[in-house]
Structure 1
């Protein structure tokens, strides 16, 4: 394992017993490149050929006030796998805010739990006053990695191969880009949304494969809302208006306190991919809050055309404080799946009748699910979710849901070992495209990072997606213990090659 270290960043962060600045959430500040990871168990499958990217919350400076786990600076960790070997590198996302704090040598912005006025400079996002870290989501569009912030900041670009920072996306609108834009690899389009405290409170847009903003329209809402994710089908984009949002009376005093609004239903906006506000179809459903969707698709039948949406329904969007957590009681509950009780759920929107029907797919508390990417926008059978440690935002295992039979496979990690969001990677086949399309939906792997608090180490781990119960089939050592975080993605090397060829042809035209 040959390690190349990058110049150190300036940091003022002090050791802390804060639950999300210690343990598995202890920040790492070094940036390194490793040419080949040492395999410590099994073998890296030869039929994997792509790149795993994981975003993490990784604060650099001592907080100005109270720290929330979503306040950290963005750091992207990458593993490139090909030919049975894997390399590793990690880089901070050099947002404008990150660079300004590096110049100042200290924190300049307060966090999510701090009162208005804590920040020393004007801030960003729907909340306003926050630091745009790009630390929430990570996807790849048109050959470029895009890191986004859950409260709507810029879309920060990186080279997915080298992790070179490429600055903010030129197409980003003034209201920013929320986390969780969606990419249709067949058309090369990226769909995104944003939200704010100002009418019309939400916008929706489409970016073409060439990297140009090609469609951008308002989605009028009754007031400020707090959506987190969106979904797409072949013809529709699905946005939401849910009853968990800021208290209007407190908001007038610049106090951002989210609460559930009794009597307000969940509403879904189905807009044609390049539709106008007047084309929106609104559907009502039972009140809840949803952080993440797993898939959406269209079906036709004798009862009418339907759009099907799957994701994690929260039974208790406003959880009770975890009193044993003391001063962190509210914060700990709001990031604990066992407190807000997220379970796999399905919504059906009948385009003929305008009715919504719902069904619970699992009684198990889970979140952060992945599907086989070849089944995006198609009827899919399998979902791979993570389980979490009660009372904590820490993934401690996996569940493979068979939505056709209801069967569930489970893998529990050892105590003190925590996972990352784990994309499903279809097995690369050397056979013809026709044969590949006939392969099983669960024929592939889960790729993840593990943080082992017992040994103070981290690893790349690979699981058989068709049999996760047997645990990792391969583990490779990372050069340092990484910090826990939120989202991850996978991109095939073949897709990056297709994107590069498109850019070459576009430049030559």
Structure 2
């Protein structure tokens, strides 16, 4: 095993007992590469051939005020698997703000709980005064990895193989790009949205396989909103307007305090993929907030054509403070699934009648679900969700939901071990939807180490079938993705054939 090390970054961060600057959220500042990871249990399945990428939060500088777990600088961790072997590397995302703070030798922006009061420079995104970290999401489109920030920063490009930083996406619009753009591998298109504090408050766009902005339209809303995710079907893109958003009176004083607005329904905007504002179909549903969708698809029936959407409905989107969390009581509650009570849910939009019908799919507290990517935009049967440690934003296991039978299989990690969001990798010779693997990073607080682990998606109860040792303990974070090497080869061939730079 050969390890290569990058030059150290400048850091002013001090040791802390802050719940999201310690333990499994202890920031990592070391950047390394490992040519071949050691297998410590089982063996790597020969039919896995792709790259796992995960975005994590790693603040480099001492916060100017109170720290929020989503204030950290983006670091991408990568495991590349082929031929029964795996390599590893990790790199910071060199956003404009990361680079400016490296030059300044310290923090320049206040965090989510203190900006703009403490920021030393004007900020970015829908909030208008935050650091653009790119630390929320990671997807691969047209052969390029895109790291995005949930408050609508730039889309920051990286080579998914080398993790070389490639700068900001040239197609990024003025109002930025929210986390959770969606990729349709069949057409090569990427669909995205953004939101802001000025009319029309939301936009929607499409990037083609050549990396060009080919469609960009307003989605008029009544005022500033806080959407987090979107979904796509073969013909529709689904956006939302939910009743959890900034308090309008406080916003006039530049105070960004989100609250639930009683009497305001959830609204969904269904727009044809290349549609105009006048083509939007609006549907109303029960008031809630949703962080993440798992899938959407179209069905035809005797009662009319429907669009079906599945995701995690919050029963208490404005949670009570966690009493024993002291000064962090509100912050801890807003990132704790057991406080906001997210459960798997289904919405059905009837395109003929304009009605929306809802149903609960599980009573478990779960979130951050994945499906077999071969079933994206198709009716899927299985969803793999993560469970969390009560009171914390820490994944401690998985639930395999069978949405047809209602059966659920649960796997709980041993105490002190925490997982990452876990993409589903279809088996090469698989014939069933759950003929697949889950891949994840594990943080073991008992040993101070981290691993890459692979599970059998058809029987998660067995636990990991393969474990690979990582060279250091990584920090926790948010989202991840998987891309097949064959997809990267196809994207590269398209670029060569079409002279795309």
TM-score, normalising length from structure 2?
A: 0.99
- Mind listing any 5+ residue stretches in structure 1 that lack a counterpart? 430-435
Secondary structure of 2:362's counterpart equals: strand
From 440, 447, 469, the counterpart of 2:439: 447
Structure 2 Cα separation of the partners of residues 118 and 195 of structure 1 = 23
Distance 1:255 1:115 in 2: 9
Contact 2:116 2:130 in 1 (8 A): no
The answer to whether the 8 Å contact 2:27/2:58 transfers is yes
The alpha-carbon deviation at position 116 of structure 1 amounts to 2.5
User: 1:181 and 2:173 equivalent?
Assistant: no
Distance apart, 1:128 and its partner CA: 1.1
Local SS of the residue matching 2:91: strand
In the alignment, the residues of structure 2 paired with residue 366 and residue 241 of structure 1 have an alpha-carbon distance, to the nearest angstrom, of: 22
User: What residue number does 2:128 align with?
Assistant: 128
Distance 1:261 1:82 in 2: 50
Structure 1: how far apart are the matches of 2:406 and 2:81? 33
d(CA) in 1 for partners of 2:68 and 2:79? 28
Q: Which residue of 1 aligns with 2:483?
A: 491
Q: Deviations over 1:222-253 (max 9, x none)?
A: 00000000000000000000000000000000
Give yes or no for contact 1:317–1:340 (8 Å, CA) kept in 2.
Answer: yes
Q: Verify the 8 A CA contact 1:49 1:428 in the aligned structure 2.
A: no
Following superposition, the deviation at residue 373 of structure 1 comes to 0.2
Quote the Cα distance in structure 1 between the aligned partners of 2:90 and 2:116: 33
SS of the residue 1:363 aligns to: coil
Paired residues in the alignment total: 501
Match among 432, 444, 468 for residue 476 of structure 1: 468
Q: Give the corresponding residue for 1:433.
A: none
Q: 1:115 to 1:169 in 2, by over 3 A?
A: closer
- Structure-1 separation of matches of 2:259 and 2:500: 53
CA deviation after TM superposition for structure 1 residue 508, in Å: 8.2
Matched, 1:500 2:481: no
CA distance in 2 between partners of 1:373 and 1:335 (Å):
27
Provide the rounded CA distance (Å) in 2 between the counterparts of 1:129 and 1:172: 19
The question of 1:457 aligning with 2:477 is answered no
Q: Which runs of 4+ in 1 moved over 2 A?
A: none
- Aligned residue runs from structure 1 range 21-420, under 5 A: 21-420=21-420
C-alpha separation between the residues in 1 aligned to 2:218 and 2:94? Answer: 30
Inter-CA distance 508–235: structure 2 relative to 1 (3 Å threshold): closer
Q: Could you say what secondary structure the match of 1:328 adopts? A: helix
Deviation of 1:117 after TM superposition, in Å, equals 2.5
Give the SS at the match of 1:88.
strand
- Residues 241-289 of structure 1: CA deviation (Å, up to 9, x unaligned): 0000000000000000000000000000000000000000000000000
CA RMSD of aligned residues (A): 0.8
Unaligned residue ranges in structure 2 (runs of 5+)? none
Q: Distance in 2 between matches of 1:254 and 1:469?
A: 49
Q: How high is the TM-score relative to the length of structure 1?
A: 0.98
1:2 shift after superposition: 1.4
